[in-house]
Structure 1
Amino acid sequence: MDWQQLLIIEPYSWAAIGTALLCGSLVGLERQMRGKPVGIRTSSLITLGTYLFIVGASSVMTDATDPSRIIGQVITGIGFLGAGVMLARDGVVVGVTSAATIWVLASVGVAIGLGYLDVAIKLAVVVVGVLFGVDLLEDYFQSLTRGVHKKYTGWKTSFRRDKQG
């Protein structure tokens, strides 16, 4: 048996798979360290899965198919996944940032699927910068924590109350 044959995964590439896992891990690590949903595993699987769908669709391209439709379908499917992490408690919607993170992770996976590996890594760093940087700004400027950006902590107690009652 030729062991090198086992490592061939055409039309996929090990470099792109590694990039997808790296990008997902970068964003997921930030979320997981802060105790937010969509941690390392989920983030890595989103970028990897999106990459696999994009390359898989491109590999079956014929005159009658359009792989760009797969990108549209991925966006729609990821939207449903993101909607699943949002909750409404006491008139406040929580989990919107996690849903947006899922959505942007899919776009990073699309970039990887299109062959822009270095761009995808840079975009993942930008996403971490936004997630971490805005939180720092909110901690520094009290005016940013009013209104829709106010941190809502009552959902934990109302969720427990709903489960018991």
Structure 2
Amino acid sequence: MKWLFEDWYHLLVAPWAHTALVVCAILCGTLIGAEREKNSKPAGLRTMILIALGSTLFTMVSYQLAGDDGDRGRVAAQIVSGIGFLGTGAILHDTVRIRGLTTAATIWVMAALGMLCGVGYGGAAIGLTCAVLLLLILLTQVENRYLGPCYYANVALIYDDDGGKTSVKVDSVLEDYRIPPSSINKTLNENGMVELTLIYCNAHKHHKAFLMKFSEMPEIKSIKRSD
């Protein structure tokens, strides 16, 4: 069990220690990123892997540049402030709520796990990654069960396509609110209007906020909802 608690730089010789820690960082990013990707979050598999890997490499470089007597935390310390800008980019604000705070926090934690790999504690990084993954999964289930699960409804939009211009606007709104394409269907009615039907969560206010966007578009002729 030494690999779980001890510094891998003392357990393995270079360059195997560095290789093992890089692989460990990729594994940590994969575990968290897969969960984020599965739930259609903005920062998914590739993002989490790159954050973990980048933090690990910066920390390793910091160690090498400092040597035995220098300040080994000089470069690595900049990760803490630098990752904040990346997290800020994941936070979105609309008319209903601020979105992306969990994603930003996950990015912050992912950078910390990468730094843990960089200083040599790959086993601890894997253990903490599993703990974070379990936390994300369990809290999602708790939120859905006790804070109000989604129940789904249908909505039908009828609009004048105006040579495709309206469809571009509609598609942009649906993409912004991450409505899955599999739940969307478009047809032409007898009047030449486009009729778009989709399924959405009608339980939470922020899940149906896109309807407010559509109600403000003059091209939308009608919005009909049904359970």
The interval holding the TM-score normalised by the smaller chain is 0.7 to 0.9
1:22 corresponds, among 23, 27, 30, to: 27
Q: What CA distance in whole angstroms lies between the structure 2 residues aligned with 1:160 and 1:14?
A: 51
Query: Tell me, which stretches of 5 or more residues in structure 1 are unaligned?
Result: 1-8
8 Å CA contact retained: 2:62, 2:76: no
1:153 corresponds, among 177, 199, 207, to: 207
Q: What's the C-alpha RMSD, in Å, of the aligned pairs?
A: 3.1
Query: Tell me, which stretches of 5 or more residues in structure 2 are unaligned?
Result: 1-13, 151-203, 220-227
Counterpart amino acid of residue 207 in structure 2: T
Aligned to 2:121: 116
Aligned to 1:60: 65
Counterpart amino acid of residue 103 in structure 2: S
Deviations 1:36-75 (CA, angstroms, capped at 9, x unpaired): 1211111010000000000101101158842213232101
Q: Secondary structure at the match of 1:13?
A: helix
Aligned to 2:144: 139
Q: What CA distance in whole angstroms lies between the structure 1 residues aligned with 2:36 and 2:111?
A: 16
8 Å CA contact retained: 1:108, 1:120: yes
8 Å CA contact retained: 1:57, 1:67: yes
Q: What CA distance in whole angstroms lies between the structure 2 residues aligned with 1:113 and 1:142?
A: 38
Aligned length: 153
Counterpart amino acid of residue 129 in structure 1: L
Higher relative contact order (CA 8 A, sep 6+): 1
More strand by share: 2
More helix by share: 1
Shift of the alpha carbon at 1:142?
A: 2.8
Counterpart amino acid of residue 102 in structure 1: I
Question: Counterparts of 1:119-130 in structure 2 under 5 Å?
Answer: 119-130=124-135
Shift of the alpha carbon at 1:129?
A: 1.1
8 Å CA contact retained: 1:47, 1:108: yes
CA shift in 2, pair 1:139/1:18, >3 Å: same
Structure 1 length normalisation: TM-score?
A: 0.80
